[in-house]
């Protein structure tokens, strides 16, 4: 009988030709075929460089390589979802392709898993490789996010974590097509622990997440997990209405006592501009949510797989 357990590593690759060989070699160094069966699910997220060719040329000996080729670039969240859908392990670990999630941590994660934890988070205890601005904006995001959302997203934790099969089943079964994975993982819950690591610099190539992309990811995260930005307009409205009522009463009284005074252009214009600005912001927030409802209602799949190829490892049937 076969009671050996299988571990899946899931790595999205987008224009990472410089990292493919290195990353596969680093994985080969940490997998331990004595204890577990290993598979690496590599997702090619519509790379325009030689990433796919390099992945297909690789022939690892101590793990099975499953190359999932997406039909175009769907973004990291979708690529990760695609990888999870193809992973068959009893424990599943998503990693970045640039070795910023050190594979050396995997052994420690597995140990925690063997102790009975269903989720083992790898926490970036040291983010000095990330730059001041990125660290500050990340800290700000988690503060706002965790204030607004009922689902608490652990801070300084990326997608690098070990998840038991049962957690991945839950996340994969969620029907939504706009997938903020960190949020979905946190939403799923389960017995969770964490281990700390220092996040190293990117090995080769450059980051795919510019300031604008990160901002959009942050908006995605907040709108996916909280409707507080929608609800706040009721309170802002009530507050402004009360203020105007007070000020209106004051002006009526003053006019009744002192008579009409015509000047007041500047204050009038200020109030009009302020109020229209406020209304536009409110509309914008509604628009953010409405847009998401619209996109979600189309029920398009989050990713399209062109092909799945398997190679290497002992487990080939």
Q: State in angstroms the smallest separation of the CB of 222 from ligand UDP.
A: 18
Give dist(CA 95, CA 158) in Å, integer: 9
| Using rule CB under 5 A, residue 100 touches Mg ion | yes
Least distance to ligand UDP, CB of residue 137, Å: 12
Cβ-based burial of 42 (10 A; exposed 0-12, middle 13-18, buried ≥19): buried
**Strand, coil or helix: what is 246?**
helix
Q: Token digits for 109?
A: 């994660």
* Minimum distance from residue 270 beta carbon to ligand UDP (Å): 42
User: DSSP letter at 204?
Assistant: S
Q: Which stretch binds ligand UDP (CB under 6 A): 30-38, 207-215, 248-256, 287-295?
A: 207-215
Rounded to a whole number of angstroms, the minimum distance from the CB of residue 90 to ligand UDP is: 23
DSSP class of residue 200 equals P
Using CB under 6 A, which of 10, 16, 106, 222 touches ligand UDP? 16
The verdict on 79 binding ligand UDP (CB under 6 A) reads: yes
209 near ligand UDP (CB under 6 A): yes
- And the tokens for 94? 């998503």
Residue 85 binding ligand UDP, by CB under 6 A: no
The continuous run of DSSP H or E covering 158 comes out as strand 157-164
The distance of closest approach from Cβ of residue 31 to ligand UDP in the complex, given in angstroms and rounded to an integer, is: 19
**99: left (phi > 0), else alpha (psi -120 to 50), else beta?**
left
Closest listed residue to residue 103, CA positions, set 94, 112, 111, 113: 94
Contact between 96 and ligand UDP by CB under 6 A: the answer reads: yes
Q: By CB under 6 A, name the one of 13, 38, 187, 303 that touches ligand UDP.
A: 13
75 binds, among ligand UDP, Mg ion, none (CB under 5 to 8 A by kind): ligand UDP
153 close to 128: Cβ distance less than 8 angstroms: no
Structure tokens at 269: 């214009």
Q: Do residues 13 and 97 lie in contact, with contact meaning Cβ atoms separated by under 8 Å?
A: yes
Minimal distance in Å, beta carbon 108 to ligand UDP? 21
φ/ψ bin of 205: left (φ > 0), alpha (ψ from -120 to 50), beta (otherwise): left
**Among residues 61, 207, 249, 276, which is the contact residue for ligand UDP, using CB under 6 A?**
207
Q: Which is nearer to Mg ion, 178 or 202 (CB)?
A: 202
Q: Is 46 helix (H, G, I), strand (E, B) or coil?
A: coil
- 311 touching ligand UDP, by CB under 6 A: no
* Contact assessment for residue 68 and residue 83, using Cβ atoms and an 8 Å cutoff: yes
**Would you state the structure tokens that stand for residue 218, as one six-digit string?**
């942050």
Which residue is at the shortest CB distance from Mg ion? 100
Chosen from ligand UDP, Mg ion, none, partner binding at 153 (C-beta under 5 to 8 Å by type): none
Q: How far is the CB of 301 from ligand UDP (least distance, A)?
A: 17
Partner touching 180 among ligand UDP, Mg ion, none, CB below 5 to 8 Å by kind: none
Contact positions vs ligand UDP (CB under 6 A): 12-14, 16, 45, 73, 75-76, 79, 96-98, 100, 202, 207-209
Chain residues in the site for Mg ion (CB under 5 A): 96, 98, 100, 202
């Amino acid at each position: 009988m076969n009671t050996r357990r299988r571990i899946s590593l899931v790595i999205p690759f987008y224009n990472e030709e410089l990292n493919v060989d290195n990353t596969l070699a680093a994985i080969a160094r940490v997998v331990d075929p004595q204890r577990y069966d290993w598979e690496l699910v590599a997702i090619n997220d519509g790379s325009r460089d030689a990433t796919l060719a390099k992945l297909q040329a690789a022939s690892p000996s101590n793990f099975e390589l499953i190359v999932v080729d997406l039909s175009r670039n769907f973004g990291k969240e979708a690529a990760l979802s695609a990888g999870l859908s193809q992973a068959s392990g009893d424990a599943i670990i998503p990693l970045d392709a640039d070795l910023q999630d050190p594979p050396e941590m995997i052994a420690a994660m597995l140990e925690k898993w063997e102790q009975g934890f269903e989720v083992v988070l790898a926490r970036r205890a040291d983010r000095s490789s990330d730059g001041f601005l990125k660290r500050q904006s990340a800290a700000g995001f988690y503060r706002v996010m965790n204030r607004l959302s009922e689902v608490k997203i652990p801070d300084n934790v990326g997608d690098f974590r070990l998840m038991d099969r049962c957690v991945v089943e839950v996340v994969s079964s969620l029907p939504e097509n706009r997938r903020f994975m960190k949020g979905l993982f946190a939403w799923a819950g389960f017995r969770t622990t964490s281990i700390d690591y220092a996040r190293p610099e990117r090995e080769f190539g450059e980051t795919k997440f510019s300031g604008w992309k990160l901002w959009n990811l942050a908006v995605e995260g907040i709108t996916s997990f909280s409707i507080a930005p929608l609800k706040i307009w009721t309170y802002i409205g009530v507050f402004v209405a009360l203020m105007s009522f007070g000020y209106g009463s004051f002006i009526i009284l003053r006019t009744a006592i002192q008579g009409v005074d015509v000047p007041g252009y500047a204050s009038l214009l200020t109030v009009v501009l302020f109020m229209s600005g406020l209304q536009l912001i409110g509309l914008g927030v509604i628009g953010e949510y409405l847009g998401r409802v619209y996109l979600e209602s189309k029920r398009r799949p989050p990713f399209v797989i062109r092909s799945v190829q398997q190679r290497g490892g002992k487990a080939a049937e």
